[in-house]
Amino acid sequence: MPSDNESLSGSKMAMIVVDMQNAFLNDEGSMNKGGMDITELKKTVLPVSNLIIACRSADVPIIFTRYVLRADYKDAGLRSIRRSKFKEINSLVMGTWDSELDPRMDQRLEDYVLDKTRYSSFYNTSLEVILRGLGVDTLIICGVTTEICVESTIRDAYFRDFKILVPKDAVAAMDIDRHKGTLATIEYGFGSVTTSAKLINDLLGIAV
């Protein structure tokens, strides 16, 4: 649970929603078609959606990230080697349904949407510029997958001295052991692991 110095009281917050895209959350998406088990990932849709609603009520800015690549994978780096079969099925290719945010995320005009080509939401994006402009000091970070893009984003956020809150039911990995191990690492060294229900309760308290 959040420690005293990582509570919501007195904080200037933003929420980063990492890669909640059709590719990862829909049975017709490229992860499932590529042979990956997205069962655990799909469980994040409801808690993330509920957090989005609560953040809107509390006037907390929402920043969506999308993992998006060129069709020729020239910007994919080592992914083009380590996940070569996904190039063949146009996984995460810009401009395709696969790369779009899941419509259940209810992305709106006032939200921020950042495209990235690497795991971390900070790498080669304007995320830090946006957060500094908003005067943010605390981040709620959710999305998929826990041990890859979410963890990479959390580590980079911590290096930039942002306080971090991670709702454990609003992040997921394809492997439950990797998920649990990453949450333990985050709690130990990078931020506070909490629940979406606790965060929503705190956010609605702010909104009142």
Q: Could you report the per-residue pLDDT of 101-141, keeping only the tens digit for each?
A: 999 999 999 999 999 999 999 999 999 999 999 999 999 99
Q: How many domains does the chain have?
A: 1
| Residues designated as active site | 19, 116, 149
Burial of 9 per CB tally in 10 Å (0-12, 13-18, 19+):
exposed
Angle, helices 151-159 vs 176-189, to 10°: value is 10
Arithmetic mean of pLDDT, 43-47 = 98
- Distance CA(190)–CA(126), nearest Å, equals 22
Amino acid in position 68:
V
* Residue 154 belongs to domain with CATH number: 3.40.50.850
Any bridge partners for residue 98, and if so which?
none
Q: Does 5 score more than 50 pLDDT?
A: no
Asked if 41 and 102 count as a contact pair (C-beta separation under 8 A), the reply is no
**By three-state DSSP, how is residue 36 classified?**
coil
- The domain containing residue 47 runs over which residues? 4-207
Asked if 69 and 92 count as a contact pair (C-beta separation under 8 A), the reply is yes
